[in-house]
Structure 1
Amino acid sequence: MPSKDEAPPQEIFFRLSGAGDSPWEIGRAQSAIIKLVEQGIFHGTVLDIGCGIGDNAIYIASHAKDVTLTAIDLVPKAIEVAHEKAQRVNVNIQFEVIDMLSDLSKTNLKQNSYDVILDAAIFHAFSNDDRLLYIKNLEYLIKPNGLYVQIVYSEKETREGGPRRIKKTDLEDLFSLKNGWAIESIEDSIYESRPGAPLSPNEWFPVGSENWSDWFVVGVNDVDIKSDGPSLRLKRWWSYFTDHRHKYIICKQNNFKGCSC
């Protein structure tokens, strides 16, 4: 199992994603995503980060109202499969091969363009240093008051193997109000995996089982924050789930850092 601040080797993703062998490719949208769609979370311009073979993205594009959806992944094969699946069901999604740790100004992703950004089980794949760059790139992409939704491997998962566990306190620090984020709620959820996938626990996580993850929602709604200058009115929220013992996070961007509140 990776150490507490270590990322899993990228070779895992390139070997398994889109090949029909990965435990995270279950052939349908995650139940947590379906629940979010039913709650009306996805709206406007939506970006699915680490979309894999596109099951979550296709479900959102098919069932959420009035969304324009872009889906990205690091692995070309996964994007190829996702594009073919979307074409078969006549769903319009813009698929791109993009590394979220790269210079996004050199990609087709536009700055401050997304109302909702989905990260379904990607955040726990980053090292401590890389996740800071990742959050910086989230801030580049999300609209002011935009919503960030995250499913992430939870510290509540006590079984051997799997990605690094992400502590609730880490999320509260990384996505704090002083860093331009606000946490609204934290809930438990299940992230489903496919039985029989060829990946050992020491390499990644136990397969063929439900793992706990946390669903994390963060936000501040219509809050006046006093500073040395004029007050600032913010709208923002976020959500957090646990499944596969994972965490699920939804955040809205604040654009106000360094407050003493």
Structure 2
Amino acid sequence: MTDANPRTEPSMVDFEQSYQDHTLLPGEAVLDRLPWEIGRPQPELVEFEKSGRVHGDVLDIGCGPGDSAIYLAARGYRVTGLDLSPTAVEKARMRAATERVSVSFAVADATELTGYEGRFDTVVSSALFHCLEPKQRRPHVDALVRVTRPGARLIQFTFAATDYSDAFAPYAIDENELRATFDTADWSINTLRPGNLTAVASETILASFAESGFRPELDDEGAMLLPIWVLEADRR
């Protein structure tokens, strides 16, 4: 890692507080939109759905304001969206009602998922895994095993460890950890490749990144494209 890159301190990230006051960390600038509130599904997820790799009952874990869940429900899937933040869940419910789609949203701990055993055929996990502390990851993966049926599919987008990932990722993940976690007796990896996560490019965030020497790629609409690992794994 470069010394010019200021590290995001994971213990300071409080997502419930972020949803309430639209700041990323205490004392930082108030944002019009949080970086992950893009108001639409991630393009990577759209491609997975178009190619027929989403099926059955769907869990959107770490659903946030509901971008993935609402998109999939509008496509005809039965979707449950779970998040630790009550404020995020309420926002998601309001959006679903406005868009007239049916999604079951609830507050839940991603390391437990009690009450959802054996329910899901597809799990969508967009920008959650890298928010978990190392000690939380195994309980989370164990919980995913409990709530999925044999043959279920996990579609997961996780910030990749790069020279500048400390500027935007609570815990950036490397390829070896993903292989060790999901090439197991419980999971079989189908896809593990680099990709991009679309994120809101506010002037405040771009200025902060520039100070650390990081200048993210932007798409045609001016959104940031941040490096991720795209993982597709099947439950054995």
Quote the sequence identity (%): 24
Rounded to whole Å, the distance in 2 between the matches of 1:195 and 1:116 is 30
Structure 2 residues not aligned, in runs of 5+: 1-6, 23-31, 219-224
1:111 alignment counterpart: 117
Rounded to whole Å, the distance in 1 between the matches of 2:197 and 2:64 is 15
Rounded to whole Å, the distance in 2 between the matches of 1:252 and 1:27 is 28
Give 1:198 shift. Answer: 5.8
Q: Map of 1:64-75 to 2, 5 A cutoff? A: 65=76, 67-75=77-85
CA deviations 1:65-103 (Å, max 9, x no partner) are 4x210001111111111111111111000000111124x
1:135 alignment counterpart: 141
Does residue 24 (structure 1) correspond to residue 36 (structure 2)? The answer is yes
Contact 1:157 1:165 in 2 (8 A): no
2:54 alignment counterpart: 42
Give 1:201 shift. Answer: 5.6
Give 1:9 shift. Answer: 3.3
1:9 alignment counterpart: 12
| TM-score when normalising by structure 1 | 0.72
Which structure is higher in helix share?
2
Residues 1:53 and 1:209: Cα distance change in structure 2 (over 3 Å) = farther
2:29 alignment counterpart: none
Rounded to whole Å, the distance in 1 between the matches of 2:203 and 2:66 is 18
CA deviations 1:197-220 (Å, max 9, x no partner) are 766969xx9999459xxxxxxxxx
Give 1:160 shift. Answer: 5.0
Amino acid in the other structure paired with 2:235: Q
Amino acid in the other structure paired with 2:100: N
Aligned CA RMSD, in angstroms, stands at 2.6
Residues 1:31 and 1:96: Cα distance change in structure 2 (over 3 Å) = same
Rounded to whole Å, the distance in 1 between the matches of 2:203 and 2:143 is 32
Pairs aligned (count): 210
Contact 2:66 2:95 in 1 (8 A): yes
Rounded to whole Å, the distance in 1 between the matches of 2:200 and 2:12 is 20
Give 1:110 shift. Answer: 2.1
1:158 alignment counterpart: 164
Q: Map of 1:175-214 to 2, 5 A cutoff? A: 175-177=182-184, 179-196=185-202, 209-210=216-217
| TM-score when normalising by structure 2 | 0.79
1:251 alignment counterpart: 233
Rounded to whole Å, the distance in 2 between the matches of 1:197 and 1:77 is 25
Secondary structure, counterpart of 1:182 in structure 2: strand
Structure 1 residues not aligned, in runs of 5+: 212-242, 255-261
Which structure is higher in strand share?
1
